[in-house]
Structure formats: structure tokens, C-alpha cells
């Protein structure tokens, strides 16, 4: 795969970049006011599993202090997770409290299901430790037993974990831009080709960090199969927090039937399409995906519309709280925006769980339908980013995107939000609903043109 020649500084106005480029160049790249780039500098606070867990835990504690236990409980959408090797002791404690449950070990920075395995016995991780990234872990274990009385986390062992902190941004002046240029890195070009996807690209860290997470043993099954949901959230800024939710998305099915008896069969448990593609059962034509509209209808016919409303508003809660938890940590550069791919798992009680957030969701298409979804998604993203400065900034819907959070909840109703009792408040989200984006865009741009004419 050829990398396009690196542009000289300041020669582009819009860059859909790789996270690796970002890491190397963002800090010393000057950007004019209008310039836009498709990642936040330290997005990994949200998208790397170990950081996300930490931020979420901290946010939860803060909520508990400020608003009480009930409010904090709304953050309980993340299965109990422990960083390895730092939180190994805490993990063992939790492990012993719940004998017999299944855990899943995931590498923090890899994607597409690579390096993941399930286990039920401590013996299983002992074996893994001896083999793999366990060098650090072994040395920790070898030390005399230390008190694990540090409830808020593992600050005492921070030194052993390779946390990367962002260097302070450096700026230096560059000549003015010469022409309007839009740069697309390789990962977007492959929308049209059937190449490798670019889920959360690998960061070059010398030590492989893992997280051990409680495995959800009672996933909701359709046709006997496990699935997870991929939902798209577009964040235009963190301070203030402005986030849009895309109406379309899909459910990704595992090709094999779910059973807890075969935890070695990674094909059953992992629903990433990338992993499924290597399963012997995989039929590429199928793509094993359902559009969210179909999924929503299926659930409605089985559980009724109210239960579905509750589920979807619980999911809204996940999106908003997860973003709020990193709001203060992420460097909110006005040039940055980011399109996240959220992975959600539903359990049999219709409770949604957050599996992870991807900063570079795959844009390769596994079917015609998938291709349509992703091209429309990108198109609408560009509409919201609005390089052409056509929007007024007061829009609540652009194409398939609904404004979900605008420094506060956004209501479906017109007029100022009535936050007093949250009585009739319905959030402005339409996940899995009809997406008549073409019509909406036509009407939107026509009325914007009209407004422009009127004011000129």
C-alpha cells in the first residue's frame, strides 16, 4: 500500500489522518483557523481500554460525590475491568470474590479481535504470563505481598506501567496556506477497496498492556447467535461538549452459535467482522450484519416499543457519560473533530454494555448495504464539519446525524429545554430510526440558501 507523499506544512485545509501521523506531527503542525483534522490529539483517553476505564472510574467517583449514588450508578455500563499488570492484585481480589465467572483478556491497543482470549481460572493467566507480555507481571508477583489497600486505583504501581503522557504542544509560525487542499490518508481511500480495515491502529508501545474484563455471560441472542452493535458518534468539540449521533449503524453477528462451554472457540465470542472473516463458516456474501433499523424492529416486535425506547435511551446515556468522563482530559483543539465507533453489547435483560470506543472505525465495506451506510456516514460527517461554512450552527439535524449533546441535553421538541423535572424530555436521538437523509439535506440546504439570500 503506497503512502501519499507527506504534504509540506500548511498546505492542506482538511486532513482525514491516521493516528500514527497525528502522534508524530500534530504537536509541531501549525493550523490556520479554518483547518480541520479528524482526530483529537489525545483521543486515546477514550479509545484505549485501560485509559477509558480509568477515566470512567474517576468520573463515576466524582458523580457520586456531587450527585449521589443513584446518579453514579448510571455509569455502570462498563463491565468490571482491571489493567494488567498494574491492577493485578485488585483483579485477583475481585476474581476470588466471584468464583466460576468468565473473564476476558484484551490487549489495550490492538483491534479487530487480535490477542483476545477468555479464561476462568487463574491458572490460565499464569500460563499466559509466562509466555507473553508477562515479564513485568512476573516481577510484580515476585515482590513481597504489598497491601492492596489503595482503593482508588494503582497509583503505587504507576511507574511500572508505560503510560504515555502527551508532550506539551509546540507551535511555530509557518507561511500562509497557498491553496485549498484536502488530504485523505490511506485508511479512507480503502473505503472503495477491499483492503485491511483501520480500527484503532496499533500504537508503538514497547510493553503490551492488557485489561482483564468481566465477560458478559448472558448476551442477548438472536437466532442463537451473539452480536454486538456498532454505533457512530461524531464529536465536534469537548469544551463545550458537542456530540452528534448517527441514525444508522449495524449489529454484527457471530457466525457460530453461542455457548459458554467452548470458551476456546474465539469465533463464537468475538463478533468483530475481522475475526469472523477467518472463521471456517464465514460466507463473505453475507457480511453477518443487520442494519440497526432491522434490529430495532425485531426487538420492538418481540418486546414492545416501550422496552425498546428504554434500551435506546440507556445507550444514549452510555454515549454521553463516556464523553463526559474524558471531557476535562482531552485537549479540545478547535481544529479537531472525531468520528467514533462505539461497540455495544446487549444482555438478556436488555441492558446495554460498553465494550469499547474506536477512534478510527473501519470504513471498509463488507456488502453493498454497508458501503452505502459508510459513504453516507462520511458525507454527512463532512456536512457537519462544514468546511464551506454553510450551516448556522443552530441545526439539530444534518443528514443522518442528530445533535445529541450541545453543552447540555438536546430535546426533540423545539424551544428551550425544560430541565426542571425532566418530565417530558425526549432526547434528540433517533438511533435505528428512519434515515431520510437525502430529503432532509435538500430541505436544509435550500433553506440555508434562502436565508443567505435574505440577509445579503
Which residues would be at the binding site for another protein (CB under 8 A)? 222-225, 253, 256-257, 281, 283, 285-290, 294, 297-298, 300-302, 304-305, 367, 369, 433-434
Q: Which of 311, 284, 296 is nearest to 251 (CA)?
A: 296
Shortest CB 261 distance to another protein, Å:
11
**Between 4 and 284, CB nearer to another protein:** 284
**Burial category of 414 from C-beta neighbours within 10 Å (exposed 0-12, middle 13-18, buried 19 and up):** exposed
**Between 51 and 295, CB nearer to another protein:** 295
**Between 8 and 348, CB nearer to another protein:** 348
Q: How far apart are CA 289 and CA 256, in angstroms?
A: 14
Beta carbons of 93 and 148 less than 8 angstroms apart = yes
**Between 107 and 219, CB nearer to another protein:** 219
Q: Which helix (H) or strand (E) holds 454?
A: helix 437-455
Shortest CB 258 distance to another protein, Å:
10
Beta carbons of 271 and 252 less than 8 angstroms apart = yes
Straight-line distance from the first to the last Cα atom of the chain, in angstroms, rounded to the nearest whole number: 48
Half-sphere exposure of 24 (CA within 13 A, CB side): 7
Q: Which of 375, 216, 196, 366 is nearest to 289 (CA)?
A: 366
List phi, psi (to 5°) of 169: -65, 140
**Between 38 and 272, CB nearer to another protein:** 272
Shortest CB 308 distance to another protein, Å:
9
Shortest CB 398 distance to another protein, Å:
17
Shortest CB 282 distance to another protein, Å:
12
Shortest CB 443 distance to another protein, Å:
12
Question: What are the cell numbers at 450?
Answer: 434562502
Half-sphere exposure of 68 (CA within 13 A, CB side): 2
Shortest CB 271 distance to another protein, Å:
13
**Between 288 and 384, CB nearer to another protein:** 288
Shortest CB 306 distance to another protein, Å:
9
Question: What are the cell numbers at 405?
Answer: 449533546
**Between 44 and 401, CB nearer to another protein:** 401
Beta carbons of 231 and 419 less than 8 angstroms apart = no
**Between 235 and 299, CB nearer to another protein:** 299
**Between 242 and 430, CB nearer to another protein:** 430
Q: Can you tell me whether residue 213 is helix, strand or coil?
A: strand
Q: How far apart are CA 33 and CA 355, in angstroms?
A: 35
Q: Can you tell me whether residue 212 is helix, strand or coil?
A: strand
**Between 173 and 368, CB nearer to another protein:** 368
Q: Can you tell me whether residue 144 is helix, strand or coil?
A: coil
Q: Can you tell me whether residue 98 is helix, strand or coil?
A: coil
**Between 321 and 430, CB nearer to another protein:** 430
List phi, psi (to 5°) of 420: -60, -50
Alpha helices in 134-236 (DSSP H): 135-142, 186-189
Shortest CB 148 distance to another protein, Å:
43
Q: Which of 379, 326, 328, 336 is nearest to 357 (CA)?
A: 326
Shortest CB 190 distance to another protein, Å:
23
Of how many residues is the chain composed?
A: 456
**Burial category of 407 from C-beta neighbours within 10 Å (exposed 0-12, middle 13-18, buried 19 and up):** exposed
243 beta partners: 235, 405
**Between 144 and 223, CB nearer to another protein:** 223
**Burial category of 411 from C-beta neighbours within 10 Å (exposed 0-12, middle 13-18, buried 19 and up):** middle
Shortest CB 283 distance to another protein, Å:
7
List phi, psi (to 5°) of 280: -60, -20
Shortest CB 215 distance to another protein, Å:
21
Amino acid at each position: 500500500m503506497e503512502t501519499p507523499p507527506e504534504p509540506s506544512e500548511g498546505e492542506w485545509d482538511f486532513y482525514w489522518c491516521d493516528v500514527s501521523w497525528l502522534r508524530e506531527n500534530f504537536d509541531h503542525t501549525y493550523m490556520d483557523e479554518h483547518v480541520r483534522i479528524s482526530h483529537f490529539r489525545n483521543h486515546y483517553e477514550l479509545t484505549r481500554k485501560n485509559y477509558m476505564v480509568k477515566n470512567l472510574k474517576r468520573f463515576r467517583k466524582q458523580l457520586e460525590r456531587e450527585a449521589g449514588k443513584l446518579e453514579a450508578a448510571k455509569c455502570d455500563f462498563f463491565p468490571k475491568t482491571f489493567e494488567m499488570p498494574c491492577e493485578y492484585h485488585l483483579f485477583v481480589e475481585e476474581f476470588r470474590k466471584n468464583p466460576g465467572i468468565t473473564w476476558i483478556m484484551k490487549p489495550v491497543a490492538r483491534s479487530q479481535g487480535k490477542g483476545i482470549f477468555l479464561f476462568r481460572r487463574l491458572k490460565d493467566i499464569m500460563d499466559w504470563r509466562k509466555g507473553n507480555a508477562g515479564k513485568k507481571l512476573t516481577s510484580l508477583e515476585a515482590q513481597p505481598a504489598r497491601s492492596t489497600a489503595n482503593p482508588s486505583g494503582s497509583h503505587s504501581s504507576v511507574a511500572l506501567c508505560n503510560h504515555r503522557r502527551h508532550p506539551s504542544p509546540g507551535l511555530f509560525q509557518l507561511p500562509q496556506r497557498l491553496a485549498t487542499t484536502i488530504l485523505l490518508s490511506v485508511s479512507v481511500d480503502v473505503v472503495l477497496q477491499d483492503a485491511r480495515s483501520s480500527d484503532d491502529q496499533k500504537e508503538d508501545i514497547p510493553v503490551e498492556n492488557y485489561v482483564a474484563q468481566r465477560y458478559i455471560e448472558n448476551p442477548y441472542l438472536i437466532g442463537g447467535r451473539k452480536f454486538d452493535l456498532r454505533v457512530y458518534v461524531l464529536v465536534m468539540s469537548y469544551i463545550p461538549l458537542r456530540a452528534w449521533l448517527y441514525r444508522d449503524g449495524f449489529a454484527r453477528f457471530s457466525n457460530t452459535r453461542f455457548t459458554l462451554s467452548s470458551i476456546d472457540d474465539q469465533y463464537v465470542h468475538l463478533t468483530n467482522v475481522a475475526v469472523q472473516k477467518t472463521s471456517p463458516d464465514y460466507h463473505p456474501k453475507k457480511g453477518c450484519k443487520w442494519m440497526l433499523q432491522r434490529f430495532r424492529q425485531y426487538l420492538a416486535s418481540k418486546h414492545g416499543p416501550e422496552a425498546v425506547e428504554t434500551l435506546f435511551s440507556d445507550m444514549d446515556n452510555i454515549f454521553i457519560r463516556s464523553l463526559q468522563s474524558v471531557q476535562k482530559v482531552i485537549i479540545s483543539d478547535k481544529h479537531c473533530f472525531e468520528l467514533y465507533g462505539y461497540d455495544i453489547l446487549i444482555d438478556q435483560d436488555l441492558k446495554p454494555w460498553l465494550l469499547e470506543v474506536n477512534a478510527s472505525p473501519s470504513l471498509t465495506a463488507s456488502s453493498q448495504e454497508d458501503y452505502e451506510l459508510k459513504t453516507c456516514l462520511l458525507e454527512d460527517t463532512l456536512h457537519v464539519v462544514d468546511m464551506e461554512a454553510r450551516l448556522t450552527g443552530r441545526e439539530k439535524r444534518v443528514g443522518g446525524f442528530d445533535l445529541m449533546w450541545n453543552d447540555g441535553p438536546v430535546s426533540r421538541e423545539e424551544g428551550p429545554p425544560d430541565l426542571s423535572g425532566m418530565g417530558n424530555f425526549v432526547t434528540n436521538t433517533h438511533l435505528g430510526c428512519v434515515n431520510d437523509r437525502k430529503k432532509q439535506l435538500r430541505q436544509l440546504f435550500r433553506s440555508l440558501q434562502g436565508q443567505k439570500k435574505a440577509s445579503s
